[in-house]
Amino acid sequence: MKTHYKLFALLLVALMGLTACGGDDNSAAAEIAKMDTDTPDGAFLANVAAMKANDLHSLIKNSLSEQQYNDLVTEFENNKTGNFSEADKAQFAQTMSMLTADGAEDQLYAMAAPQLEQARAMLPMMVMMGKDQMVQGIKQNPMIPEEQRETLAAVAGAAVDWIGENDVLSDEKTKAAIASVVGTAKAMDMTSLDEVENMTFEQALAKGSIALGGFKDLLNVYGLSMDDMLDSVDVSNVNVNGDNATMDVNFEIFGQTIKQTMNMVKKDGVWVGEQ
Give the closest residue to 153 by CA, choosing from 256, 224, 260.
256
Whether residue 7 has pLDDT greater than 50: no
How many residues belong to the chain?
Answer: 275
Q: How far is CA 146 from CA 136, 150, 152, 257, in A?
A: 13, 8, 10, 16
Q: How far apart are CA 26 and CA 105, in angstroms?
A: 26
- What pLDDT does residue 18 have? 38
pLDDT of residue 265: 93
Looking at residue 275, its pLDDT comes to 67
pLDDT class for 198, splitting at 50, 70, 90? confident
User: Residue 245 in contact with residue 237, Cβ under 8 Å?
Assistant: no
Parse the chain into domains and list their residue ranges.
Answer: 2-101+184-223, 104-182
pLDDT tens column, 44-78: 999 999 999 999 988 988 888 888 889 989 988 88
Amino acid (one-letter) located at 108: L
Phi and psi (nearest 5°) for 246? -130, 155
Mean pLDDT across the chain, nearest whole number? Answer: 84
Across 118-145, b (16+ Cβ under 10 Å) vs e yields: eeeeebeeeeeeebeebbeebeeeeeee
pLDDT in tens, 140-176: 888 888 878 888 888 888 888 888 888 888 999 999 9
Rounded to whole angstroms, the Cα distance separating 54 from 29 reads: 11
Mapping DSSP to helix (H, G, I), strand (E, B) and coil, where does residue 259 land? strand
Confidence at residue 104, expressed as pLDDT on a 0 to 100 scale = 94
φ/ψ of 203, rounded to 5, equals -65, -40
Share of residues in the chain with pLDDT > 70 (%) = 90
- List, for residues 10-30, the tens digit of each pLDDT value: 444 444 433 333 444 457 888
pLDDT of residue 126 exceeding 90, the answer is no
Question: What are the tens digits of pLDDT across the range 102-123?
Answer: 999 999 999 998 888 888 888 8
Which amino acid would we find at residue 159? A
pTM attached to this predicted model: 0.76
d(CA 63, CA 69): 9
